[in-house]
Amino acid sequence: MNGDDTLNGFTPEEATQPRVVVLISGGGTNLQALIDAQTHDQLGGEIVAVVSNVPDAYGLQRARDAGIDAVVLPHQEYETRDAFDGALIKVIERHEPDLVVLAGFMRILTPRFVQRFLGRMINIHPSLLPEYQGLHTHARALADGAEEHGCSVHFVTEELDGGPVIVQAAVKVLPDDDEDSLKSRVLTREHLIFPIAVRWFLEGRLQLQGNLATIDGQPLPLCGMRLSHEDAAEELDEDGAL
């Protein structure tokens, strides 16, 4: 038998990686963390598109520099929130993603949108949820005299910043912190944990089951997996942070 006959003229398709669409509104530093992880084969999939509701968002340039499809969908061009979300659904589904990632996407999503991607959409939020849902998290933490702050990755549900938490990273609030210094240290932790959560999902380890996040089939605690300040500082090699 000729060896070629065993293939019957069939050319197997290349194995495709899981597909990710990232939504942004601004500079895209968390997007860059995901791009960097992908570059080092640590993301578990491929970012196939970046969509922004802000035409001059610098994150779009980050996407173009990485050879990723950059899509502008200005929300001002739509009369209602529902009309914009309907258009956004079409743009996203055109890219057939396995996961939708909100990386500084500053829009409140309609229930219709959330339900369309429920269980395969995650967000990064700059606080230790459920503390400080919404905006101005660093200023609010400082005003409250909080001793600890941080960031969370969570599944997106219809409750704003209220979906099950996947992973968190904490940071100590220092006596001389202002909003900018605290934001900067929290941001380094966002860049640390966001690619990890994406990889868990794309590897099939992370799932939303009912109102619980599970890893390897086991329910995560309400705060998700949490990196302490010391653990995060060690991972980030922060001088003098321990």
DSSP-assigned beta bridge partners for residue 154: 123, 165
Cβ-count burial of 126 within 10 angstroms (0-12 exposed, 13-18 middle, 19+ buried)?
Answer: buried
Of 193, 131, 192, 130, residue with least CA distance to 157: 130
The half-sphere exposure of 126 on its side-chain side, counting CA atoms within 13 A, is: 22
Residue 145 CB neighbours (<10 A): 7
Active site residue 125: yes
Sign for the pseudo-dihedral over CA of 124, 128, 213, 233? positive
Exactly one of 40, 95, 125, 229 is catalytic; name it.
125
Tell me the catalytic residues: 125
